[in-house]
Amino acid sequence: MDDRGHLTTEHRNSRTMELGRADIGETFDLINSEDATIAAAVAAAKPEICCAIELVVTGLRAGGRLIYVGAGTSGRLAVLDATECPPTFLTDPQTVQAIIAGGAEALTCSVEGAEDRFVDGEEAIHRRHVDRSDVVLGIATGGTTPFVHGALRAAKIGGASTVFLACVPQEQAGDEADVSIRVITGPEVLTGSTRMKAGTATKMVLNMVSTITMVQLGKVYENLMVDVNTRTNAKLVDRGTRIVQTLSGLPREAARELLGQAGGRVKTALVMHARGVDQDAAEQLLAEFDGHVDRAVGEQSL
């Protein structure tokens, strides 16, 4: 068994040595003060995060996929981010997907040893038949997870672009990815519990990767999710209606009716209203302008 004691995520935090004797309020303050450092750690990795996003945008524009790979907390956060893309951005469920070591069972309980098998990571990627249009983003907060490194090795052999996200310096745990993102969160409040600061940093980075990618792909207008899936539940129907209402200036009932005429597609409804065209013509315009509402509308005002 390898000694991982040199990893910063395994070091003891000198600021929280009294954690076991602290009362509730003191413990809150300790955790809160450590969490306050995470945004700065993410900001320090901006160049690498932006490079990764450029790879993802290019890949998705070419019809590829973003495939997250992780184990434990990293894998669960990956699944969370991937699962939120279809309702938020109306993406195909295959466009952004996640692989977690141990499979679906690992989402709700620990599958011991699943992360330790390099070959399982390789096989998970082989089953997805990756190619040059795909981007595989491996997550291992401590930087050493064999399952993740196996997946990245197979992805690179398959021609996919690769990204690695870890919370330790590269000299402590190297990688062979095209882009290596290192968000140095330091020792955890509770020694080795990377579900805490490292987990929070991971969620922040994945949110940025998926959200900024979708912005670049035209799935956002101003700061509104104009590709929201309005066919799934009442909350999203309401959100879609309010977006149409806000941008078109129509009364609520008229906005709801327009959304219905657009087949529930917010972007289509907006172009129909701005250009005075029917659903088919609006969707043709959107197709011509790669789904960007502002371009499809042209000089017309929403």
Residue-wise DSSP of 211-258: HHHHHHTT--BTTB-TT--TTS-HHHHHHHHHHHHHHH---HHHHHHH
Q: Is the pLDDT of residue 43 over 60?
A: yes
Has residue 1 got a pLDDT over 70?
Answer: no
Q: Is residue 227 part of a domain?
A: no
Of 35, 11, 51, nearest to 165 by C-alpha is 51
CA distance 183 to 185: 6
- Look up residue 46 and give its two tokens: 């901006």
Please give the pLDDT value at position 300. 64
What token pair was written down for 220? 């956002």
Q: In terms of domains, do 164 and 24 share one?
A: yes
pLDDT recorded at residue 8: 87
- The span from the CA of 184 to the CA of 198, in Å, is 8
Question: What pTM did the predictor assign?
Answer: 0.92
Mean pLDDT of 124-134: 97
Q: In what order do the strands lie in the sheet with 96-100?
A: 96-100, 66-70, 135-139, 161-166, 179-182
Annotated active-site residue 48? The verdict is no
Average pLDDT of the segment spanning 60-74 = 97
Q: Kindly report the average pLDDT of the chain as a whole number.
A: 94
For 72-81, 105-114, 121-130, which range has the lowest pLDDT when averaged over its residues? 105-114
CB 83 within 8 A of CB 95: no
Answer whether residue 6 shows pLDDT above 90: no
287 and 138 in a common domain: no
CB of 136 within 8 A of CB of 56?
no
Return the minimum-mean-pLDDT range out of 7-11, 212-216, 220-224, 247-251. 7-11
Q: How many domains does the chain have?
A: 2
Q: Which of 18, 26, 54, 84 is catalytic?
A: 84
Catalytic residue among 48, 115, 188, 283: 115
Structural domain span for residue 165? 8-216
Both 204 and 246 in one domain: the answer is no
The reply to whether 115 belongs to the active site is yes
Q: For the chain, how far is it from start to end, CA to CA, in angstroms?
A: 62
User: Does residue 83 carry a pLDDT above 70?
Assistant: yes
CATH number of the CATH domain containing 284: 1.10.8.1080
Say which residue the tokens 């009442």 belong to: 234
Same domain, 38 and 132: yes
Domain check: are 293 and 158 in the same one? no
| pLDDT higher than threshold 70 for residue 270 | yes
229: in domain: no
Determine the average pLDDT of the residues in 109-113.
82
Residue identified by tokens 């502002």 is: 294
What average pLDDT score do residues 139-155 get? 97
Beta bridge partners of 181: 165
Residue 289 counted as domain residue: yes
Residue 187 domain-assigned (yes or no) = yes
- Domain check: are 107 and 244 in the same one? no
Q: Where a domain ends, among 185, 216, 247?
A: 216
